[in-house]
């Protein structure tokens, strides 16, 4: 999430009641998740296991629950609960409406048809010659390009599935990102595309999604990808251009799939994949899988 205007370290520390380490005028441009964070942004960390990853990430402001040595050129915000304070910063700079208020500010391009039963949130942009079918829900800040088809009962911009366990219950990391649908995308019936926690979930130009597909927060789907029904893709994945994903594929968070890859039905992806054709509950190269099956059969 990028702030409407740059803030400084002292202002952010005062907002959350945290101690800071660094120049009080150190500029802060926004917040982001560890997978997506860029220089000038805040990332939070609340477990020693991930301290090094956060401190050595591109983030230049680290919201952390322990005072540690501050890397050169960076700043720290010391908090007793970084998760809570990350939410506090995000919701201070991005108001959450959740369809309780209709302020709208919706832009719709020429030639676009939106069925009367569709529900559209605030600050939404929809391009030219789109077709929005019945009962589609489009959440706040969604951006839709030209010539996009979104079929019935699809939801764009739901909350990210991102929780921590606190005092025996689950505490949500509030989503302040959005969904971006590029030009010439088609999305089938009953799909769900979660908005980014702090960034954008993106469906690339010319991609086609079948029915009943789940795309997690902050995931980026490349151009001209083809995704079949009942596929579930977790958050923060990168699916490069012209990837084909067949039915019931499941993908763990944070993985990257190289351009031109084919994932056959019921494939389970738990790691980055180079270009190839893959199959199996733990994705393996398809020819290797077949060789193994032949060997097992001949035992």
Does residue 130 share a domain with residue 50? no
Residue 256 reports pLDDT greater than 90: yes
Query: How crowded is the C-beta side of 101, counted as CA atoms within 13 Å?
Result: 6
Give the per-residue SS3 of 83-135.
HHHHHHHHHHHCCCCCCCCCCCCCEECCCCEECCCCEECCCCEECCCCEECCC
Does residue 112 share a domain with residue 247? yes
Secondary structure element (H or E) that encloses residue 54, with its range: helix 51-55
Does residue 130 share a domain with residue 276? yes
Q: CA 96 to CA 280: how far, in whole Å?
A: 41
pTM beyond 0.75: the answer is: yes
- As a whole number of Å, the end-to-end CA separation of the chain is 56
Q: How many domains does the chain have?
A: 2
Residue 36 reports pLDDT greater than 90: no
Residue 295 reports pLDDT greater than 90: no
- Within-domain flag for 299: no
Does residue 270 share a domain with residue 172? yes
Among the candidates 93, 128, 159, a domain finishes at: 93
Residue 238 reports pLDDT greater than 90: yes
Does residue 38 share a domain with residue 138? no
Residue 297 reports pLDDT greater than 90: no
Residue 111 reports pLDDT greater than 90: yes
Single out the catalytic residue among 47, 92, 115, 217: 217
Q: Which of the residue ranges 130-134, 202-206, 291-295 would you say has the lowest mean pLDDT?
A: 291-295
Per-residue model confidence (pLDDT) at position 102:
79
Q: What mean pLDDT is predicted for residues 67-89?
A: 97
Does residue 121 share a domain with residue 191? yes
Residue 188 reports pLDDT greater than 90: yes
Among the candidates 93, 128, 156, a domain finishes at: 93
Does residue 195 share a domain with residue 261? yes
E-strand ranges in 195-283 read 200-203, 208-209, 214-215, 220-221, 226-227, 232-233, 238-239, 244-245, 250-251, 256-257, 262-263, 268-269, 277-279
**Residue 100 CB contacts under 8 Å (≥ 6 apart), including other chains:** none
Q: Residue 139: is it exposed, middle or buried by C-beta count within 10 angstroms (0-12/13-18/19+)? A: buried
Q: Which of the residue ranges 25-29, 165-169, 201-205, 207-211 would you say has the lowest mean pLDDT?
A: 165-169
- Within-domain flag for 263: yes
The average confidence (pLDDT) of the chain is 96
Percentage with pLDDT > 90 across the chain = 91
Does residue 117 share a domain with residue 87? no
- Within-domain flag for 298: no
**Residue 85 CB contacts under 8 Å (≥ 6 apart), including other chains:** 16, 18, 44, 63, 77, 79
Does residue 136 share a domain with residue 79? no
Residue 282 reports pLDDT greater than 90: yes
Per-residue model confidence (pLDDT) at position 80:
96
Does residue 120 share a domain with residue 9? no
Does residue 200 share a domain with residue 80? no
Q: CA 226 to CA 247: how far, in whole Å?
A: 11
The answer to whether residues 191 and 214 touch, using CB atoms and an 8 Å cutoff, is: yes
- Within-domain flag for 130: yes
- Within-domain flag for 99: no
Per-residue model confidence (pLDDT) at position 180:
98
Hey, how many other C-beta atoms are within 10 angstroms of the C-beta on 114? 17
Coil/strand/helix, residue 160: coil
Give the domain CATH number at 269. 2.160.10.10
Per-residue model confidence (pLDDT) at position 161:
96
217 in catalytic set: yes
pLDDT band at 288 (very low <50, low <70, confident <90, very high): confident
Domain containing residue 75: 2-93
Give the domain CATH number at 52. 3.40.1390.10
Does residue 250 share a domain with residue 129? yes
Per-residue model confidence (pLDDT) at position 287:
85
Residue 124 reports pLDDT greater than 90: yes
- Within-domain flag for 101: no
Q: What mean pLDDT is predicted for residues 193-216?
A: 98
- Within-domain flag for 297: no
- Looking up tokens 């911009």 gives 157
Among the candidates 38, 59, 93, a domain finishes at: 93
Q: CA 275 to CA 148: how far, in whole Å?
A: 28
pLDDT band at 79 (very low <50, low <70, confident <90, very high): very high
Cross-sheet strand order for the sheet of 2-8 = 2-8, 27-31, 41-45, 61-64, 75-78, 19-21
- Within-domain flag for 151: yes
Per-residue model confidence (pLDDT) at position 100:
87
């Amino acid at each position: 999430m990028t702030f409407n205007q740059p803030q400084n370290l002292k202002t952010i520390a005062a907002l959350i009641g945290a101690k800071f380490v660094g120049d009080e005028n150190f500029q802060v441009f926004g917040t982001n998740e560890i997978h997506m964070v860029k220089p000038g942004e805040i990332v939070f960390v609340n477990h020693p296991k991930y301290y090094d990853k956060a401190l050595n990430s591109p983030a230049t402001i680290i919201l952390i629950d322990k005072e540690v040595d501050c890397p050169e050129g960076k700043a720290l915000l010391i908090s007793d609960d970084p998760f809570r304070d990350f939410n506090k910063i995000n919701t201070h700079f991005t108001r959450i409406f959740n369809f309780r208020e209709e302020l709208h500010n919706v832009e719709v391009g020429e030639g676009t048809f939106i069925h009367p039963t569709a529900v559209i949130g605030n600050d939404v942009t929809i391009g030219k010659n789109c077709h929005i079918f019945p009962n589609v829900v489009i959440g706040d800040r969604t951006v839709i390009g030209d010539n996009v088809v979104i079929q019935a009962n699809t939801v764009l911009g739901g909350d990210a599935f991102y929780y921590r366990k606190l005092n025996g219950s689950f505490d949500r990391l509030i989503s302040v990102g959005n969904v971006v649908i590029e030009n010439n995308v088609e999305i089938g019936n009953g799909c769900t595309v979660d908005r980014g926690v702090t960034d954008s979930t993106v469906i690339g130009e010319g991609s086609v999604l079948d029915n009943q597909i789940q795309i997690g927060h902050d995931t980026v789907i490349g151009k001209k990808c083809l995704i079949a029904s009942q596929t579930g893709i977790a958050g923060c994945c990168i699916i490069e251009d012209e990837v084909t994903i067949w039915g019931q594929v499941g993908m763990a968070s944070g993985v990257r799939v190289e351009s031109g890859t084919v994932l056959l039905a019921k494939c389970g992806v738990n790691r980055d994949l180079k270009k190839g054709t893959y199959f199996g509950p733990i994705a393996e190269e398809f020819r290797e899988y077949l060789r193994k099956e032949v060997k097992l059969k001949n035992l």
